[in-house]
Amino acid sequence: MNIIKQMTKTLVSPSILSANLGNLATDIEMINNSTADWIHVDVMDGMFVPNISFGMPVIAAVKQVAKKPLDVHLMVEKPERYIDDFKKAGADILTVHYEASIHLHRTLQAIKDTGMRAGIALNPSTPVNVLDDIITDADMILIMSVNPGFGGQKFIKQSLEKIRKTKELIVKTGSKALIQVDGGVTLDNNKELVNAGVDILVAGSFVFSSNNPAQTITALKTF
Ligand code: DX5
Ligand code: ZN
């Protein structure tokens, strides 16, 4: 499955952090039948971020039902400890935080060695220039547009400039990395984000609190 292809359109990866966790299969079916491209799965360890969400058993259960690639965002200290476990659980894209993995180059190689795609996430306070010497090793850069840990937070405006800088770095270095944005994405900022260079929009509360989540997913990628 060629999950990261030459980009011609904007991808949407709904975050199931805001799904109905008591009836997750129904929301995964909705995503299966929608125009969503990936399924964004937020893993939180209560250390890197204050919150705890879900781990490998939930991902393995989601994988049973999902017909789209699992885009797993690890908000976990020392994520390199769990790379094989997430592969076994069914992750297709594994994103780790720059701030959480000291030997990031080794971590990315280990992710790619399993056959998964490797992403790097940056917190809002982390500057883009920390990517200078690693961007050509990444399949994706995730720009956090809220402080990670919770759904439903307000979009941080400076993220737009960070996305533009990331795009510039990608063009300058010839990196093939895609740009993902995560946090506070709505129909009020989707177009501006794509114009700034975003390839993949993550949206949680905006999708799952809407009256028609499948329609909202399509609306997010329609300009
Ligand atoms: C936040 C998570 C996000 C979250 C986004 O730490 O990484 O993926 O689900 O939620 P919204 O779209 O509601 O900001
Ligand atoms: Zn996320």
* 58-84 confidence digits (pLDDT tens): 999 999 999 999 999 999 999 999 999
Count of beta carbons in the 10 Å neighbourhood of residue 174: 8
| Cα-based torsion angle of the residue sequence 46, 200, 175, 3 in order, rounded to the nearest 10 degrees | 100
- pTM for this one? 0.96
Structural domains of the chain ordered from first start: 11-220 (3.20.20.70)
The angle that helices 56-65 and 24-32 make with each other, rounded to 10 degrees, is 50
* Model confidence at 35: pLDDT above 90: yes
CB-CB contact of 64 with 24 (8 Å): no
Catalytic residue among 71, 92, 139, 182: 182
Question: Tell me, what's the pLDDT at 8?
Answer: 63
Catalytic status, residue 182: yes
Cα(19)–Cα(28) distance, rounded to whole angstroms?
Answer: 9
Catalytic residue among 27, 37, 42, 71: 42
Q: What is the pLDDT of residues 140-199, one digit of tens each?
A: 999 999 999 999 999 999 999 999 999 999 999 999 999 999 999 999 999 999 999 999
DSSP assignment letter at 153: P
User: What is the mean pLDDT of the segment spanning 43-60?
Assistant: 98
* Model confidence at 1: pLDDT above 90: no
Catalytic status, residue 188: no
CA distances to 17, 90, 133, 191 from 111, rounded to whole Å, are 23, 13, 18, 31
Residue spans of beta strands (DSSP E) within 7-148: 11-14, 39-44, 70-75, 93-97, 117-122, 140-144
Q: Among candidates 14, 51, 36, 6, which has minimal Cα distance to 207?
A: 14
Within 6 Å (CB) of ligand 1, which residues are found? 15, 17-18, 40, 42, 73, 146, 148-153, 182-185, 202-206
